[in-house]
A = this chain, B = another copy of it.
Amino acid sequence: MDTNLEEKAEILLHTYNLKATKPRLKILSYLMSHHNHPTVEMIYHALNEEINRATVYNTLNALSEVGIIIEIKNGDNSTHYDYFVKPHFHIICKNCGKIADVIYPNFDQIENEMRKNAEEQTGFIASTSHLEIYGLCPNCQIKLKK
């Protein structure tokens, strides 16, 4: 277990006024060190089924609410998560569900513009935004040609 990682996670949690509970430290550390876009189920198993599923759900909701992680609504109807490093979005394979990161330097700028526009038009106060693109990954392009 990487103590240094958990320390980093603890600081991050406190920054956002979240209690640094053991389950949260483990889950956040996992996300900080794995960029496999896991679901609740994947995290639950990766952490040896030691943390209650409801807690995994609660934690991921809390983390994505403050923006520490990104929520990805996948085509497979389960939600995936990704630790936020720099502005990016995701492209998801319609065939196999694979998720790839797309780095887009101006992404937060564009996001902000959209948010502002949405607020002006609707009177909402915007917080998080979600962009996902669907498509076919290189592997499935080949598979489906046959």
Contact = CB atoms under 8 A, between A and B. Distances in A.
A69 interface: no
Interface string A85-115: 0000101011000001011100000100011
Q: Is the interface of A mostly helix, strand, loop or mixed?
A: strand
Nearest to A123: B138
A124 B73 contact: no
A126 B135 contact: yes
Contacts of A132: 129-130
B114 A136 contact: no
Interface residues on A, range: 35 or more
Copies in the complex: 2
Contacts of A77: 79
A141 interface: yes
Given A114-B133, A127-B134, A131-B130, A122 B91 contact: yes
A48 interface: no
Contact of A129 (B129, B131, B141): B131
